[in-house]
Amino acid sequence: MSASSRLLDGIDSPADLKKIPEAELPRLAQEIREELIGTLAETGGHLGPNLGVVELTIALHRVFDTPSDRILFDVSHQGYVHKMLTGRRTRLATMRQHGGLNGFLLRTESEHDCYGAGHAGTALSAALGMAAARDMNGGTEHVVAVAGDAAFTCGVSYEALNNVAETTKRFLVVLNDNEWSIAKNTGAIASYLNRIATSPSYAHLHDQAAKFVEWIGGKGARQLVGKIETGVKQILFPGVIFEELGLRYYGPIDGHDIPLLIRTFEFLKTQNEPVILHILTKKGKGYAPAMAKPDKFHGLGKYSADTGETVPGTAPTYSEIFGKTLADFADHNRKMVAVTAAMPTGTGLSQFAKRHPDRFYDVGIAEEHAALFAAGMATRGMKPFLAIYSTFMQRAFDMIVHDIALQNLNVALCMDRAGLSGDDGPTHHGLFDIAYLRSIPGVIAMQPRDEEEFADMLWTMANHHEGPVAIRYPRGAGTGAVPKKTPRLLEVGKAEVIRHGTDVALFGLGNFCEVAADVADLLEKEGIKTAVINPRWIKPLDTATLEFFARGTRLVCTLEDHAIAGGFGSAAAEHLSDAGISTTLVRIGWPDQFIEHGSVPILRAKYGLTPEAIAAKIRSELSRTKPLPKAGAIS
């Protein structure tokens, strides 16, 4: 097919989509898939989820009218097709690049993005709020919440469903059932939906679908409502759970049948009651590699469009080291268990699951439950390692305070993707965990400077027997340091002095210890004697080492992959103030704002977190100090 004859090239808005003959829409779906596969091979992104919702998104925009109608995508990582159909198709190649399209929906990116998201379970509550506001304002627009089946392992989704019937009479939920979140869905809800989809009645779906479409597409549709409802229930099993919650259930239907989807949406938009439509889709549909490995193609970097192969990293990632190291420790400790919230591959725990399946628990996208579950295990003498991305651990904050820390339970909190998460953007940056953890009494928190120290810290956590202990570590690989066969026990609250100096002391936390070393090299070239300290411990802080260098140098600088507000530098500033030590303190970290998406080098350069920029700031501060330490403002 020549580029000039593509239907896709003529679509700059949903209005253009509505002009295409319905018989041509399957062809459009194929063009969209080809564009996604070819473009994301160069940029990376959430390929599998978007391949699975091509027909659904076409049907939604065919029937509903955005931006007046509101379509919310839960998580919104499956919003690429929506972006292509709402005027952003020509920018697809900029996906997840700095200054380009965000990998999730953003209200600031387009008027068609009525709600931004990046975490699961938000769509139903937000959509219900929109429907309630519409009703109060006397509006007529439709509100549609599109949620994957994994969203129904989120407690907040059920909190929303509990209020639907009492809140509005016009509300549509599309349950996109593909049996996957990032990993294979687990739990009773997934099993329940699977029983519906695999029932004998559903085997006749394709035979009965034509009658269903005929019923709901004719002029007499309104008069046939009662007959339709009875017929649907005879053909397709109802979702008893949803009906009991006050939503009329329809489905399951084929989520890749565009005419069926269109007729169904046209019927459902006439209903004056909350409804839920259960559709069945295939994650990665139309691309064999993505269908064979849905977890891999949920979100990935560059790949070969022909084969689906990706270029392996040169060094193991922190996640991979975490999973292998924890599995090794568990070989000799029956009390160790691993818990995650739908992230067995992302956190590296798939290795643990293979070797210790009886001590591995994936609770689905339910971070609050995961934390409480771990707390319960800890009360019975187990040592749970709770592995959740930093950005998602935020959801379990109350449980960390109220259930784990308050009861001094021996739970290990392992926060993957701490710090900047680069291409995934503000919903996924782990820039706030130090601030929310160090305020909690009794929590021990640490961050390794490299992979070798990471293994030592995990060993130290495994041998910590009283109270919660937390570790944060970055996305991807570190310096390439190989963990030793026999890990070391680290002294809690004791920093490591890497090099001494009498002019400047650089406290480089975690992956910013390497940055501190580079800054020191630049300063030393100018005759500025610079100390480099690996803090290791966020809480308890090594106050003795901090005070020693605060009294013995002209300037102390803290560096961290975290927001400045409430971070490691704030802890240092608070202690020095309380101790009455007046010194010039420079805090380096991310500013008090949400950081956009983009590659780590680009964002570090933009916000002054490169060695060159940091060295320049230190030189500027030094120019205002005397040769001996003196009082100075905390910057």
**Is the pLDDT assigned to residue 243 strictly greater than 90?**
no
pLDDT tens, position by position, 507-521: 999 999 999 999 999
Looking at the annotation, which residues are catalytic?
Answer: 283, 367, 395
Distance CA 608, CA 617 (A): 9
SS (H, E, C) 211-271: HHHHHHHCCCCHHHHHHHHHHHHHHCCCCHHHHHCCCEEEEEEECCCHHHHHHHHHHHCCC
Q: Say yes or no: 421 and 371 in one domain.
A: yes
Dihedral sign from CA coordinates of 203, 208, 210, 214: negative
Report the 10 Å Cβ neighbour count for 461: 22
Number of domains observed in the structure of the chain: 3
Q: Indicate the pairing of strand 412-416 with strand 469-472.
A: parallel
Q: 212 near 186, Cβ under 8 Å?
A: no
DSSP strands (E only) in 60-168: 70-73, 143-148
Last residue of a domain, one of 436, 456, 472: 472
Q: What is the pLDDT, as a whole number, of residue 306?
A: 86
Q: Say yes or no: 324 and 186 in one domain.
A: no
Domain presence at residue 479: no
- The domain that holds 561 is classified in CATH as 3.40.50.920
Quick one: pLDDT band at residue 231, thresholds 50, 70, 90? Answer: very low
Q: What is the pLDDT, as a whole number, of residue 310?
A: 81
From the list 306, 302, 421, the residue with the least C-alpha distance to 43 is 302
**Is the pLDDT assigned to residue 227 strictly greater than 60?**
no
Higher pLDDT, 525 or 238: 525
- Beta strands across the sheet bearing 336-340: 360-362, 336-340, 383-389, 412-416, 469-472, 444-446, 537-539
Domain that holds residue 230: 3-298
Q: Say yes or no: 521 and 410 in one domain.
A: no
Q: Say yes or no: 547 and 581 in one domain.
A: yes
Q: What is the DSSP letter of 297?
A: G
Q: Say yes or no: 190 and 44 in one domain.
A: yes
pLDDT tens, position by position, 363-388: 999 999 999 999 999 999 999 999 99
Q: What is the pLDDT, as a whole number, of residue 300?
A: 78
Domain presence at residue 627: no
**Residue at 40: amino acid letter:** L
Distance CA 313, CA 323 (A): 17
Domain presence at residue 570: yes
Q: Say yes or no: 326 and 426 in one domain.
A: yes
pLDDT tens, position by position, 538-555: 999 999 999 999 999 999
Distance CA 507, CA 516 (A): 7
Q: Say yes or no: 258 and 363 in one domain.
A: no
Percent residues over pLDDT 70 in the chain: 88
- The domain that holds 396 is classified in CATH as 3.40.50.970
Domain presence at residue 308: no
Helix axes of 54-63 and 25-43: crossing angle, nearest 10 degrees: 120
Domain presence at residue 456: yes
Last residue of a domain, one of 269, 298, 327: 298
Domain presence at residue 277: yes
From the list 372, 373, 368, the residue with the least C-alpha distance to 360 is 373
Domain presence at residue 487: no
**Is the pLDDT assigned to residue 196 strictly greater than 80?**
no
Region label for 218, one of left (φ > 0), alpha (ψ between -120 and 50) or beta (otherwise): beta
Q: Say yes or no: 25 and 135 in one domain.
A: yes
Q: What is the pLDDT, as a whole number, of residue 215?
A: 53
Distance CA 195, CA 293 (A): 23
pLDDT tens, position by position, 50-95: 999 999 999 999 999 999 999 999 999 999 999 999 999 999 999 9
Last residue of a domain, one of 245, 269, 298: 298
Quick one: pLDDT band at residue 213, thresholds 50, 70, 90? Answer: very low
**Whether pTM exceeds 0.75:** yes
Q: Say yes or no: 517 and 425 in one domain.
A: no
Mean local confidence (pLDDT), 580-596? 97
Distance CA 8, CA 1 (A): 12
**Is the pLDDT assigned to residue 216 strictly greater than 80?**
no
Q: Say yes or no: 347 and 287 in one domain.
A: no
Quick one: pLDDT band at residue 229, thresholds 50, 70, 90? Answer: very low
Q: Say yes or no: 266 and 410 in one domain.
A: no
Domain presence at residue 589: yes
Per-residue CA distances from 310 to 110, 296, 301, 303 (Å): 32, 10, 7, 4
Residue 598 sits at the vertex; the CA angle it makes with 594 and 601, to the nearest 5 degrees, is: 105
Q: Say yes or no: 355 and 287 in one domain.
A: no
Distance CA 623, CA 635 (A): 15
Distance CA 61, CA 64 (A): 5
Mean local confidence (pLDDT), 233-251? 71
